[in-house]
């Protein structure tokens, strides 16, 4: 017997996610809530029975689900109306709709809103098709489900008014024929090939394998759409094609002579078939060969290796045993050890590799490839791939539920940065990093940011994810802003952050709201500029001077009373005390003397000298240090008067001629005796 197993066999991505979510729900406490499958989560009795044993019940309609229950929405998806019913029942909805199906929902809704009619290539009444049609119901457009090109002749609306889409598990060959039929009537951009890429590759592989086989085994349920498509494809190419559900059925085929020892046998499995059943089928064939003493060749042994736990794409657990400069070696319970690139561990500074080797630490890994050679089996593993898949699922969940996740910025790209979440890259445009302008992207590398996932796109088989930190910041500001306006009052103090400086003042963020500190409120110094007092980003204490809720304007104060040069001036410099200062300015009526920074006193020209001065310059010069007596203080007018002459008058020198003249005027008159 020569046996070949299709590489694309078993659970597809969407089904695997849904089943895993259900298994996780069984393992969790769920606070005593009822576990519900909205329709059988997979077309496989074995899987469904196991989940029912774990506590699940099956409800075919949303209205049948108990209130406050945990509801798993299977990969087929449901209508918007059913989601609303579940919400009204306060259910905990675990929406595991396949991303490919969600994409179809979006296409149908967007086009139905435009008034376009909908043509679906698929099976009428199938849960996936029913869910898709639900997206168009409220827009009053016409919908039709077809299975072949000739069905287009029965439509009651023109093709020109419609879009064409396909069920994810529809026959790729048939859809191509339908597309050929409508190519001159439906615009190219209105035709959407929405067949799942996994389904398409599985169908192509099944077609190729069945053409080269004498007998073909399709493992799966007759109720599964993708399984029946595989069956039809294989039957059209291999006369002896059999649908089986278990190893027991295979044994009957061998014992009854339907499958011969000399046959080339091909095996494929539908997307609803768990790996355990595929393994059971292959192992049963092995047992029958031992009984009939025919013996399987190495091709079959390779098939068993592929279908066993350690196979390409499988996620398995193993223990770390050793390492060299290039690889870390892991025992995955196979004949050969698997190996992981050492770079995966070197990039994780928190992982102690030496300790892991000594303790034989268990790790979960993904099998990237398996190759057989003369030296044995080479198994390439990856630890990061497991984290990436888990991270991708969590990111998709966060996208659907609009819940924030925390990413670490790893590098810059054109117009943005890349944030990493469990090995998955997320693009953040520079405008989505913060509310203001971002000038230096490099400064964000190494930082962590909370973001909302704004895009999760799997179109064209390539995952594109984008996120925004700005949305979170803006929402936080909105909440804080509402709180501030609810509680604001004059005189109330806030700790704020300087957002920007302008010629007329500074804008201060007091927690979601910006207020203006006018330049006159920044400093007691009349000549101070905003940049002389504050710096952008600085944290400051401010208080509310006035506000207007209608215009959303707030006037803030910054300068403090105790910093006022005239604060307690009458106590610090009482009238009669002697002070020292520096002449800073001369006018025709006197001299201004600086006693302290920003505190000047006026010495009137009459208070400088014991002589009569024409102008202050006759006795003083700028920069001259003088002593004077405080003779008057007017705090409200912000004036201080001092007298130099009452301490030590500064008398200018008199020219000799003027001195002689003064002396002669002061001398007593001579008397003449007669």
Burial class of residue 331 in the structure, from the number of CB atoms within 10 Å of its CB (0-12 exposed, 13-18 middle, 19+ buried):
middle
Q: Can you tell me the distance from the alpha carbon of 358 to that of 10, in angstroms, rounded to the nearest whole number?
A: 37
Q: Residue 74 gets which letter from DSSP?
A: P
Cα distances from 582 to residues 74, 181, 592, in angstroms, run 87, 100, 8
Q: Are 492 and 544 in contact (CB under 8 A)?
A: yes
Q: Can you tell me the distance from the alpha carbon of 67 to that of 267, in angstroms, rounded to the nearest whole number?
A: 44
Structure tokens, 131:
């869910």
Structure tokens, 405:
């996740």
Q: Are strands 56-59 and 2-5 parallel, antiparallel or unpaired?
A: unpaired
CA 570, 571, 572, 576 dihedral sign is positive
Q: Can you tell me the distance from the alpha carbon of 3 to that of 5, in angstroms, rounded to the nearest whole number?
A: 7
Q: Can you tell me the distance from the alpha carbon of 544 to that of 556, in angstroms, rounded to the nearest whole number?
A: 5
Count of CB atoms situated within 10 Å of the CB of 661: 12
Count of CB atoms situated within 10 Å of the CB of 528: 15
Structure tokens, 339:
């190996």
- Written as one string, the DSSP assignment of 82-104 is HHHHHHHTT-EEEE---HHHHHH
Q: Are 351 and 320 in contact (CB under 8 A)?
A: no
Q: Does 614 qualify as catalytic in the annotation?
A: no
Q: Closest Cα partner for 469 from 446, 445, 451?
A: 451
Residue holding tokens 């990093």?
A: 433
172: three-class secondary structure by DSSP: helix
Structure tokens, 244:
């089986």
The active-site residue, picked from 50, 82, 110, 128, is 128
Residue holding tokens 């996936």?
A: 128
Residue-wise over 612-622: b if at least 16 C-beta within 10 A, else e? ebeebebbbee
- Show which residues are catalytic: 128
């Amino acid at each position: 017997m020569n046996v070949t197993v299709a590489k694309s066999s078993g659970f597809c991505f969407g089904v695997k996610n849904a089943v895993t979510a259900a298994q996780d729900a069984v393992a969790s406490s769920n606070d005593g809530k009822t576990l519900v499958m909205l329709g059988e989560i997979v077309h496989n009795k074995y899987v469904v029975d196991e989940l029912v044993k774990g506590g699940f019940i099956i409800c075919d309609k949303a209205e049948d689900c108990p209130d406050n229950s945990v509801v798993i929405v299977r990969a087929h998806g449901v209508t918007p109306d059913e989601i609303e019913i579940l919400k009204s029942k306060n259910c905990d909805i675990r929406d595991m709709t396949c991303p490919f199906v969600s994409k179809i929902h979006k296409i149908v809704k967007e086009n139905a809103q435009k008034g376009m009619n909908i043509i679906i290539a698929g099976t009428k009444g199938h849960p996936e098709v029913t869910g898709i049609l639900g997206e168009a119901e409220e827009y009053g457009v016409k919908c039709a489900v077809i299975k072949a090109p000739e069905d287009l002749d029965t439509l009651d609306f023109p093709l020109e008014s419609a879009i064409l889409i396909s069920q994810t598990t529809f026959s790729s060959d048939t859809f191509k024929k339908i597309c050929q039929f409508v190519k001159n009537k439906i615009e190219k951009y209105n035709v959407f090939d929405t067949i799942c890429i996994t389904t398409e590759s599985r169908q192509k592989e099944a077609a190729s394998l069945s053409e080269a086989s004498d007998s073909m085994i399709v493992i799966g349920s007759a109720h599964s759409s993708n399984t029946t498509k595989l069956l039809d494809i294989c039957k059209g190419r291999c006369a002896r094609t059999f649908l089986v559900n278990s190893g027991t059925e295979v044994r009957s085929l061998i014992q009854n002579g339907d499958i011969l020892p000399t046959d080339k046998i091909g095996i494929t499995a539908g997307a609803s078939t768990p790996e355990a059943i595929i393994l059971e089928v292959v192992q049963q064939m092995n047992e029958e060969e031992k009984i009939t003493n025919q013996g399987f060749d190495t091709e079959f042994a390779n098939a068993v290796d592929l279908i066993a736990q350690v196979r390409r794409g499988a996620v398995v657990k193993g223990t770390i045993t050793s390492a060299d400069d290039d690889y870390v070696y892991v025992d995955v319970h196979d004949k050969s050890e698997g190996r992981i690139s050492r770079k995966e561990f070197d990039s994780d500074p928190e992982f102690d590799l030496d300790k892991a080797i000594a303790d034989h630490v268990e790790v979960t890994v993904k099998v990237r490839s398996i190759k057989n050679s003369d030296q044995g089996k080479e198994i390439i593993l990856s630890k990061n791939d497991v984290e990436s898949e888990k991270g991708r699922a969590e990111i998709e969940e966060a996208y659907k539920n609009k819940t924030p996740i925390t990413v670490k910025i790893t590098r810059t790209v054109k117009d943005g940065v890349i944030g990493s979440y469990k090995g998955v890259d997320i693009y953040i445009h520079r405008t989505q990093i913060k509310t203001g302008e971002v000038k230096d992207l490099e400064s964000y590398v190494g930082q962590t940011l909370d973001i909302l996932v704004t895009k999760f796109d799997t179109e064209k088989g390539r995952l594109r994810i984008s996120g925004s930190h700005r949305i979170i910041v803006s929402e936080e500001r909105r909440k804080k802003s509402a709180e501030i306006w609810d509680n604001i009052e004059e005189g109330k103090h806030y700790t704020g952050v300087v957002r920007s400086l302008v010629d007329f003042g500074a804008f201060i963020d007091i927690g979601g709201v910006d207020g203006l500190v006018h330049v006159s409120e920044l400093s007691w110094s009349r000549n101070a500029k905003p940049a002389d007092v504050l710096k952008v980003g600085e944290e400051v204490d401010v208080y509310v001077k006035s506000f207007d809720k209608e215009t959303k304007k707030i006037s803030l104060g910054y300068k403090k009373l105790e910093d006022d040069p005239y604060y307690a001036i009458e106590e610090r410099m009482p009238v009669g005390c002697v002070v020292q200062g520096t002449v800073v300015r001369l006018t025709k009526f006197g001299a201004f003397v600086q006693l302290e920074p920003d505190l000047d006193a006026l010495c009137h020209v009459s208070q400088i000298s014991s002589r009569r001065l024409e102008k202050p310059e006759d006795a003083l010069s700028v920069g001259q240090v003088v002593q004077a007596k405080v003779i008057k203080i007017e705090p409200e007018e912000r004036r201080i008067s001092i007298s130099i002459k009452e301490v030590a008058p500064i008398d200018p020198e008199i020219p000799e001629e003027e001195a002689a003249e003064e002396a002669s005027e002061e001398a007593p008159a001579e008397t003449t005796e007669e």
